[in-house]
Amino acid sequence: MKKYLIILLTFGMFFVTGCGNSSGTLTCTKTEMSEDGYSTNTTMVVTYADKIVTKVEQTSIEEMDSDFVDTSIYFSRLLAESLNEVDGYNITFEKENDMAVRIVTTIDYTVLDREKIKETLGSSYKEDALYSLSNITIEDFKETQLDGYTCK
């Protein structure tokens, strides 16, 4: 009888708490090559609580022709100024080296003002972009946003 009670309690705890981790951090990486032979190395750190994604930090190192690095950073920062005024959204562009730009995008979904993102981006707004996600589970995020990434 005692044995059955222990088994019953174990299964009961399993069903109450669910299987797997409901909170944590997932780190994923991906490398892509352009037709011109330049690489983009991306790391995405996804934080989730109760199986819902709460924050994403995406860091990309994008290689390019050295003649375009400074110009690319300049124009990207102009766009970033208005985006960084949106609650829950931050993007930075820095020179990694003479042939690469480091782009860090942080999205805190718990405070993200999606309407202001839509307003800021206007016709450039995309429904399937990271900034448009809302109450997405970590499993759905993996399926829709992490194709080609290696996660641990």
> Which pLDDT value is given to residue 79?
86
| Cα separation, 36 vs 32, whole angstroms | 11
pLDDT, tens only, 67-101: 999 999 999 999 899 999 999 999 999 999 999 99
| Cα separation, 77 vs 63, whole angstroms | 17
- Regions of the chain with pLDDT less than 50: 1-18
> Which pLDDT value is given to residue 20?
53
Helix (H) or strand (E) holding 82: helix 69-83
> What is the amino acid identity at position 103?
I
Dihedral over Cα of 123, 125, 128, 129: its sign: positive
> What is the amino acid identity at position 80?
A
- The answer to whether 90 and 105 have CB atoms below 8 angstroms apart is yes
Structure tokens at 97: 């080296």
